Structure 1
């Protein structure tokens, strides 16, 4: 009886009004379901009505201190992926979790890791591997926020920062390591056994954005990932968690590995096929000749409906992103950039400027397509169409997050029709032609944009060729600065 009363009390504290909870048959049915084991079975079936009922974190066995910490972050009800995966991870099962972008996959693996760590806080408890530096920083901040009531010590191991300082932090036995595979592999190869010996006893290994980490082909991260795994415990001695918005064959291959003496792998895909994109996303397209795409982009950014929106523009290549950043700044747009051609401090600063709305437009490559949670993005523009439809899903997932309304606009050239058909088939919806009341995009391009955009594009190309920065100032090499010790 005491246990039942405590469960009801925790549910009351998290859900809000005590009076409303006392008269709610739903709250009582959750406790009864937990006692009878019905709830446990429902987690395995994402179509069950019980899974779709409002549910608290307390009802899925999350520790009270974590329930309170999540509530302080305004996270009060678990999403589908969270209520399915958290109880199974707490049981000790390996997990493959697939859910569309913006559904809280980081919380789905961070909460059970922190709950288990709090019971036995020793050594490096978990390693989280993720493909981009920005996503690693975001996961690092989320771990710190969720674990605020405890004395968790997480560290970041990513490229673009001092490797020697990272080695010192790694040797000091932190509790959680969040890393990109390239830099962690470099430490394993060069930093010595004293630095990496703590990695050999970790309890959890997480692959976030697992489809990108495990993808073969050009630019594959698999060689670095294999080096990382060589210093970590064997699969029998650790829990392995894979999370992604697009569950690929490479991700599902883990399910086929032998499991002698281990619980079966828990595979949970929540609406990844039927609802690959956010529910409230409006998908639009504009037909734009390749020779005048910049003009169409400038007009689209300047229409009355878009003039005050927070916007991400995605390009396929770093050089394209750089040119657009320079050109749009010359056209007096408030713009910044995020791509691999920038120094790490600039990447962090530019992303912070965009999040703070000091810059209205972010020009980015696919390093910004995965996992980044920027709630205020109202419009995503695909300046270049991705070759892989799954990359499109990740890009447009930067808007319409957590139930908000958002729009994506794709600029379609003469040779892009097949790519558009592949994307429409993958997401299960057709794009609609962009339409704004009182605005003719093509008419504005011809009347207002051709001459100024062409001139500013030429000026931007000249600035880049002359080695000037985005503000037009000539870049000075570090070696040429006066008084610098060589």
Structure 2
């Protein structure tokens, strides 16, 4: 990312937070849109970044999950667009479909008074319909890199030519987009937009400062360009919410399902909304079906589900029609889920940063929350790495008075959970979903393949 020819990238400490968006130079119509969304006072990342972006500077913004990073770049982009509303003004790239959908909702809510036109390019939707939308020169394109790269390769110059005049490019959750898994698609996407020397403004936002982002910060300056504005808030020390109680359960791997069911059924937890994280889609599917058979209100979110089911599942959980969301790490970052009281790591994440993002789904905005990590004999080294990264040790989960998890598992739940798990496995092998309905054969085969990964 280019910086000034004589000065290194400018790293600014956050200033005192202004009391209003108007004091940051945000136009009245945008202030009204923000107020309609119950956003009245800037958060630290918004207060730090909106002004420099309006000044035309590239920006790297780092701040914890839930701190309002989307508005920090959406507001100035929409203000600049409203001054000159031509063609494809901004391209927003984000790693997952759910984040793209959520971002599209926020851009629509903010920009609707000015008749903003959006184009959403994500997997699981019809390519032809998307290509038609892209060819009609929407004002903002929100995409996952893989699907945009598909269009660049296959949809033709008439479809993608509008991207060649884009004024803004945003990498949301930049720490994930700058990994090897996105490298090829991301490179293809950036090849079709203008360069910085041609006037493109580049914005990177992240909750975690990785080596790749630090490399961009430290790149030699390019002559003639405004200095990059860099603001880091709560990123140097990985931010475990201060109101989060981190606990663990150390149990044999063979009885995890029984302990999970029992934990969720205690008086302390039976009414809490919870996200249960797994490392594999097969495990998420198996837990969803098993817990459903055990009478829990549960839904799932993982990459094996069709896009329509993913949207419906997230909607059900947000509306509290489902109390439990069984998810892979597709749900660990960025998603706006208002009330999560409990996070359970059914599988210990392999990467300590993934743990931080998972447990950050609860204890948001100063509210209390709890995480429970289920540890088996194979996880000890992973837990040590997580505790070192987080700077805090987990506490042993303590039973409430008169409630013994181990006693309940042995006396009451182990046999019934084992029976329901066997039934769930049979359903999966027969290609049935958690409602007992048969999936199309292709989907059943996909799930069985996932189990082997």
Report the TM-score range of the alignment, normalised by the length of the smaller protein: over 0.9
How far does residue 44 in structure 1 lie from its aligned partner after superposition? 2.5
Q: 1:45 aligns with which of 3, 9, 13?
A: 13
Is 2:382 the counterpart of 1:419? yes
What's the counterpart of residue 73 of structure 1?
37
Residues 43-442 of structure 1: pairs in structure 2 closer than 5 A: 44-46=12-14, 51=16, 53=17, 55-216=19-180, 220-236=181-197, 237-255=199-217, 256=219, 258-274=221-237, 276-438=239-401, 439-442=403-406
Q: Tell me the distance in 2 between the aligned counterparts of 1:135 and 1:149.
A: 23
Q: Which moved more, 1:454-463 or 1:165-174?
A: 454-463
- What is the RMSD computed on CA atoms of the aligned residues? 1.7
Q: Secondary structure at the match of 1:149?
A: helix
Q: Which moved more, 1:167-176 or 1:246-255?
A: 246-255
Contact persistence 2:18–2:24 (CA under 8 A): no
Q: Tell me the distance in 1 between the aligned counterparts of 2:295 and 2:47.
A: 46
How far does residue 55 in structure 1 lie from its aligned partner after superposition? 2.1
Contact persistence 1:134–1:348 (CA under 8 A): yes
Contact persistence 1:202–1:232 (CA under 8 A): yes
Q: 1:275 to 1:390 in 2, by over 3 A?
A: closer
Q: Secondary structure at the match of 2:114?
A: coil
What's the counterpart of residue 451 of structure 2?
none
Higher RCO (Cα < 8 Å, 6 or more apart): 2
Render the CA deviation track for 1:82-139: whole Å, top value 9, x for unaligned: 1111111111111111111110111111011011111111110000000000000000
Q: Secondary structure at the match of 2:53?
A: helix
How far does residue 54 in structure 1 lie from its aligned partner after superposition? 5.7
Q: Tell me the distance in 1 between the aligned counterparts of 2:425 and 2:410.
A: 22
Q: Tell me the distance in 1 between the aligned counterparts of 2:113 and 2:220.
A: 38
How far does residue 477 in structure 1 lie from its aligned partner after superposition? 4.6
Q: Tell me the distance in 2 between the aligned counterparts of 1:285 and 1:467.
A: 34
Q: Tell me the distance in 1 between the aligned counterparts of 2:18 and 2:224.
A: 36
How far does residue 475 in structure 1 lie from its aligned partner after superposition? 3.1
When normalised by structure 1's length, the TM-score is: 0.86
Contact persistence 2:30–2:110 (CA under 8 A): yes
Q: Secondary structure at the match of 1:66?
A: helix
Render the CA deviation track for 1:248-279: whole Å, top value 9, x for unaligned: 01122222154221111111110113351223
Q: Tell me the distance in 2 between the aligned counterparts of 1:436 and 1:81.
A: 39
- Number of residues paired by the alignment? 431
Contact persistence 2:18–2:47 (CA under 8 A): no
Q: Which moved more, 1:395-404 or 1:407-416?
A: 395-404
Q: Tell me the distance in 2 between the aligned counterparts of 1:305 and 1:278.
A: 21
Contact persistence 1:287–1:411 (CA under 8 A): yes
Q: Tell me the distance in 2 between the aligned counterparts of 1:258 and 1:153.
A: 36
Render the CA deviation track for 1:147-189: whole Å, top value 9, x for unaligned: 1321111110000000000000000000000000000000000
Q: 1:275 to 1:466 in 2, by over 3 A?
A: closer
Q: Secondary structure at the match of 1:407?
A: strand
Render the CA deviation track for 1:180-203: whole Å, top value 9, x for unaligned: 000000000010000000000001
Q: 1:477 to 1:462 in 2, by over 3 A?
A: closer
How far does residue 399 in structure 1 lie from its aligned partner after superposition? 1.3
Q: Tell me the distance in 2 between the aligned counterparts of 1:445 and 1:105.
A: 43
What's the counterpart of residue 450 of structure 2?
none
Q: Which moved more, 1:413-422 or 1:272-281?
A: 272-281
Residues 470-485 of structure 1: pairs in structure 2 closer than 5 A: 470-477=434-441
- Where structure 1 has 5 or more consecutive residues not aligned to the other structure, the ranges are 1-42, 480-486
Contact persistence 2:238–2:356 (CA under 8 A): no
